[in-house]
Structure 1
Amino acid sequence: MSSDSSLGEVPMSLDSQSPYVRTQEYISTPRYSNLSGTPGGPPYRVPYGIGNNDSDNSTVIVDAKIFNRDTHDFAEGDFVCQGFFNRVDLGGFTRRFNVSQWNYEMRRQAQSVLPFLSLGPLSCLRDIEYVRSQGFTLLLAIRSRKSAPARLVSGDKAAAAAGIMADTVDVLDNQELISEFPRAIRRINDHLAGEDENPNAMVLSGLQQKRKVLVFCESGNERSAAVVIAYVMVMLNINAAEATYMIQQRRFCASIEDPMKRILAAFESILSAKRDVERARHTIPPHIAATLAPPSSSPILTKKRSFQDHRNDDHLMDDDEMEVDGDGDPFFERKPSAPFQDRVV
């Protein structure tokens, strides 16, 4: 900075007598974030400034798509229960969020990802009044199966004190998360639709209490963040890079490292294949789809004969029926040989 008696401090780029030379023009086009890190793979290019800013710059509209049964690319029963779209307020599936300044203390609290879904650490459950004030009705823990018996990561105590529900998704390691994503997503959606029959659900004026799920792990930055990212990928039909960016904008301390990014990328491929299957199922005429049904079990199709079956056949053969001369056997004259033989020099 250089000082001027009339203008005070001014940036060096605005000082005509400054030796500073601008090396890059400042432009208003979106900057990009490399969220990949996969060796040899293309980087995820996600613009920081996705969406349109309101005049007060307090709200960012990332996507205005309407969420309903037609925009959900998966069959009912995979990630949502039957009748889900008639029992849940679909207005909560939005990517609109308020932009707020992140501070270090916020890592100990839960952040709202969707109106009915929050992500946070285990430590936020120590304050029961905080749990009640946030309106949580389900505390879903994502934890290691090895430490599960010790119940170090559990929402049971806080749920009992607040009069709400608690559940867990246990995995052996992060790699097993990819097989547990569908169950975790279905667990969240079953709670939203009331499939879990919450005994503590209150009914006021004929309306059921609004349901809200807190997904947490020990830090709220790793496994639980990956589950929430997978949920957003499925329910909002976005790819892993966009979902990761969306979660990190809400919980800035979420740590999605390269191995977890590869797991999410693999889950994205699985979702893509499921979408293709579902689209093909809807495009094939019903009379043709009926002919493509999997074949029913038939007694003609038997399992491979075992060694015991061959031995029983040998016992049933009479002595005079046994072949002793090798007629018809092209390998009868073949003599056994060792696998290795010395060479004569």
Structure 2
Amino acid sequence: MSAAILPPQSQMGISEEQLRELIQGPGDEWSYDMRRRCQEILPHLFLGPLQASKSLETLQALGITHILCIRDVKEAFAVRPRFPEKFQYMTLNVEDTEEQNLIRMFPDAKEFIDSGARQNGRTLVHCNGGISLSPAFVVMYVMQHYQLSWEDALHLVQNRRYCISPNGGFLTQIKEYESIYKAGLAIQKFPQQQRIVSTRRKREDDEDDDVESRNHDRKRLLVECDEEEEDAMQS
């Protein structure tokens, strides 16, 4: 029986040792055949290859309710939803190339996985081989879910599915995403009152600038009028 779904680690108050254990994973012995199956990454999240999405019996036994199908458009004939009447699907057409932008597509994938968790469901994320494409999305998800560094998130996923190997471009984006999600957290944690004060101060500064600008314009007009009167007297 899997443990209950855990909130981000910063909200759990877990110790550094517990976090290390979480990243290390169960330490199951890995065999080549396991790459053809899916592995539990989090209690509500599984990662695997195309084969893992083909067995209705296995999917139901694992309690899968949602399936995120990630594929190159050229693979659409094979990598596709197979049981749309049984599971909720999301299909993303993504090229497994170093130039493909994953960060832009990640928010939709994250929301789909989170939606499954909110419904007490479980999501299988798969691509064709479960080696590069789908693992990249899962690593970014785990990183933000537990508020980890990109390295810890990669190790957490790798310690459960040993065969993953995101391509170089994906790995670069995984590293970049750490800064992106942490910036979002910093904004969320910025006290609301401070944001109000900052907004009010900016408004007051803008008003001061307007007053100063109007005073400057008034002084300029007075000077111009004086100069015109002086010219008229000299004429």
TM-score normalized with structure 1 length: 0.49
Question: What code does the residue aligned with 1:177 have?
Answer: L
Unaligned runs of at least 5 residues, structure 1:
1-65, 73-93, 195-209, 294-345
| 1:89-108 to 2 correspondences below 5 Å | 95=22, 97-108=25-36
Q: 1:280 to 1:164 in 2, by over 3 A?
A: same
Instruction: Tell me, yes or no, if structure 1 residue 126 matches structure 2 residue 75.
Output: no
- Give the C-alpha shift of residue 69 in structure 1: 10
- Give the C-alpha shift of residue 126 in structure 1: 2.3
- Give the C-alpha shift of residue 141 in structure 1: 0.8
Q: 1:283 to 1:217 in 2, by over 3 A?
A: farther
The residue that corresponds to 1:182 in the other structure is 107
- Give the C-alpha shift of residue 287 in structure 1: 4.2
Native 8 Å contact 1:119 1:228 kept in 2: yes
The residue that corresponds to 2:227 in the other structure is none
Q: 1:255 to 1:267 in 2, by over 3 A?
A: same
Hey, which of these two has a bigger chunk of helix by percent?
A: 2
- Give the C-alpha shift of residue 124 in structure 1: 1.8
- CA distance in 2: counterparts of 1:183 and 1:191, whole angstroms: 13
The residue that corresponds to 2:74 in the other structure is 147
Q: 1:103 to 1:283 in 2, by over 3 A?
A: farther
The residue that corresponds to 1:167 in the other structure is 90
The residue that corresponds to 1:278 in the other structure is 188
- CA distance in 2: counterparts of 1:67 and 1:187, whole angstroms: 17
- Give the C-alpha shift of residue 277 in structure 1: 2.4
- CA distance in 1: counterparts of 2:40 and 2:202, whole angstroms: 45
- CA distance in 1: counterparts of 2:50 and 2:116, whole angstroms: 20
- CA distance in 1: counterparts of 2:67 and 2:134, whole angstroms: 12
Higher relative contact order (CA 8 A, sep 6+): 2
CA RMSD of aligned residues (A): 2.7
Native 8 Å contact 1:118 1:214 kept in 2: yes
Deviations 1:157-202 (A, max 9, x none): 1343xx22221122355531111112211111122224xxxxxxxx
Native 8 Å contact 2:8 2:145 kept in 1: no
Instruction: Tell me, yes or no, if structure 1 residue 269 matches structure 2 residue 195.
Output: no
- Give the C-alpha shift of residue 292 in structure 1: 5.7
Q: Which moved more, 1:181-190 or 1:105-114?
A: 181-190
Native 8 Å contact 1:281 1:289 kept in 2: no
Deviations 1:249-289 (A, max 9, x none): 00001113432221111111212222232233546153444
Q: Percent identity?
A: 27
Native 8 Å contact 1:95 1:114 kept in 2: no
Larger Rg: 1
- CA distance in 1: counterparts of 2:195 and 2:158, whole angstroms: 43
Deviations 1:99-129 (A, max 9, x none): 2100011011000001111000011222221
The residue that corresponds to 1:15 in the other structure is none
- CA distance in 2: counterparts of 1:143 and 1:261, whole angstroms: 18
| 1:294-305 to 2 correspondences below 5 Å | none
- CA distance in 2: counterparts of 1:187 and 1:128, whole angstroms: 20
Q: 1:283 to 1:248 in 2, by over 3 A?
A: farther
Instruction: Tell me, yes or no, if structure 1 residue 246 matches structure 2 residue 156.
Output: yes
- CA distance in 2: counterparts of 1:115 and 1:246, whole angstroms: 13
Match of residue 116, structure 1, among 27, 33, 44: 44
